[in-house]
Structure 1
């Protein structure tokens, strides 16, 4: 298996890592999937306090092999008190005495010593107590991510990175390598818009310091990534053409499904509805034309135009306009005006 060194942490792990956000949506099969991943050689597991029961499931399934794992989790807390509560909860649910990489979960600013929040000081104290090994930060805001990397305060950065990324995103990954900060790639499949995992893997493989955490919900998806351990996809002409087609179709003004616009006061499932035009064309359309999906999309008509989603979008998208455009397209698909 190809190996990645996470910057100055010295952590060496396989190029395949397990992103455990989708595990919260898996019921009976989750333990078998986690153990199958471990048995195949996947040892890096990333979760978060915000992912409902994801930590608990990892603790239940993998606590017997804890010393052979790298565990990364996150706190969304904005106070030192909340930080300690989250940390103790994570340690308990993961059934461990320490967390390898503890990350601030998408803060709107870069926590630093003396900033008045006490957050970074809490990280240092947790490290001194042996409850965490390394300090990380996750973000969707390029300016916050770059500030964290340049600050010298963070051992790792987790940031969205896939073949739809911009040159500025690529420059950020190279900056991490230059400053010896470990880089963890989230959303390598762009929230489901990228449907060819081989192309996604081959593109990530060009960046030796990038560790992709693949969000796995089904065993068939896990099997694909396990197969790449022995037979990694290569960037050949066919994959390059596919990537170029996808970039022309998707890059730019599209919803990344990060969910930071949620919840919506009108009950709109924004991070699905604002990208329905892409989803319905890039996966079996029948999945998005069910009675349940139609009800979800028609909820867009109840938009209050409050602008909250637009203010909270880390990518600066005009989310209300995206919702309107996607609803109009969806209605045209339903009445047969537009074919998919």
Structure 2
């Protein structure tokens, strides 16, 4: 397994990360098998969220995760200090840990959300308190879709890392992710974690292309939702594939069936 540094945190993450949402779909015995195989393959990044089954994903992971040698992240979707603090304490209890490595402020997709989070009684107060108390080590933010709010938040608060969707379909629907957010993060040594390489399954016909595409982006980790051993084995093979060259990317955008003749590639050739 390849490992990459997570920005200014100094953490080294396995290139393939194990997402926690799809653990809701499977029995605990299967979760144990997946985690065991993932660890054997060198995986070390586990990510869940308080909202995944109201803590069900966290509780499933608590039964199988080793106490040391891994990186554990969870998320709160709460915008206010009091509710986000409650989320974090519930997360720690569900995971059976006295601290986690990363807490994400989850799905910050609108300016209104960010204004609430960064207000005098917002969730930023929770992460600052949690850092002081040693309950978390690093602070992240996640987004879905439009990247304008994400960029605004990264500029206004010293986040350690961020995570959002990174795939060749959303590249053209939300171009600011790759044209603005990622360059800003790279220049400021902010860690970058990718999710939704398959665009929520939309790229199911082109799984290898989807993984190779995300590897061309300067990410520290590609988080994948996995609900079977077969899926994990396939992902472990795909994560070893080479990224695309610039010439291969251009050909990819021209040929892939998902973009069809209705998604603008923004290549400006029509001009």
Q: TM-score range by the shorter chain?
A: 0.7 to 0.9
Q: Residue 250 of structure 1: CA displacement?
A: 8.6
The answer as to 2:67 corresponding to 1:56 is no
Query: Structure 1 CA distance, aligned partners of 2:244 and 2:132?
Result: 44
Cα separation, 2, equivalents of 1:156 and 1:189: 21
Extract unaligned runs of 5+ from structure 1.
254-340
CA RMSD of aligned residues (A): 2.4
- Per-residue deviation at 1:138? 0.8
Specify the structure having the higher radius of gyration (Cα).
1
Task: Find the residue that maps to 2:244 and give its secondary structure.
Answer: coil
Q: Which residue of 1 aligns with 2:168?
A: 163
User: Which digits, 9 at most, give the CA deviation of each residue in 1:132-157, with x for residues without a partner?
Assistant: 00011111231211012212421111
Output the CA distance in 2 between the equivalents of 1:154 and 1:34: 28
**Change beyond 3 A, Cα 1:243–1:67:** farther
- Change in Cα spacing, 1:138 to 1:234, as seen in structure 2 (3 Å) is closer
Match runs of 1:232-271 below 5 Å:
232-235=241-244, 241=251, 244=254, 245-249=256-260, 252=263
Greater than 4 Å deviation, 4+ residue runs: 111-114, 236-243, 250-253
Contact map agreement 1:79 1:117 (CA 8 A) in 2: yes
1:18 aligns with 2:18: yes
Instruction: Answer whether contact 2:80 2:116 (CA < 8 A) is retained.
Output: no
- Secondary structure of 1:67 counterpart: coil
Contact 1:137 1:156 in 2 (8 A): yes
Is 1:120 equivalent to 2:124 in the alignment?
A: yes
What secondary structure, in the 3-state scheme, does the structure 2 residue paired with 1:8 have?
Answer: helix
1:218 is matched with 228
1:151 aligns with 2:156: yes
Structure 2 stretches lacking a partner, 5+ long: 265-271
Pick from 211, 214, 222 the counterpart of residue 201 of structure 1: 211
Deviation (angstroms), 1:207: 2.0
In 2, Cα distance between equivalents of 1:162 and 1:251: 17
The answer on whether the counterparts of 2:2 and 2:15 sit within 8 Å (CA) in structure 1 is yes
For residues 31-42 of structure 1, the aligned pairs below 5 Å read 31-42=32-43
Residues 16 and 213 of structure 1 are in contact (CA less than 8 Å); yes or no, is this contact kept in structure 2? yes
The structure-2 alpha-carbon separation of the partners of 1:239 and 1:252, relative to structure 1 and needing over 3 Å to count, comes to closer
> Hey, what's the Cα distance between the residues in 1 that align with 2:262 and 2:133?
44
* Equivalence map 1:4-15=2 (5 Å): 4-15=4-15
Shift of 1:131: 0.3
Normalised TM-score (structure 1)? 0.68
Shift in CA distance, 35/20, structure 1 to aligned 2, threshold 3 Å = same
Question: How far apart are the structure 1 equivalents of 2:69 and 2:213?
Answer: 28
Q: Secondary structure at the match of 2:90?
A: helix
Q: Deviations over 1:71-119 (max 9, x none)?
A: 1110111221211211111111112111111011113332688613332
Larger helix proportion, structure 1 or 2? Answer: 1
Tell me if structure 1 keeps the 8 A contact 2:130–2:136. Answer: yes
Q: Per-residue displacement from partner, 1:280-306 (whole Å, max 9, x unpaired)?
A: xxxxxxxxxxxxxxxxxxxxxxxxxxx
CA shift in 2, pair 1:158/1:72, >3 Å? same
What residue number does 1:134 align with? Answer: 138
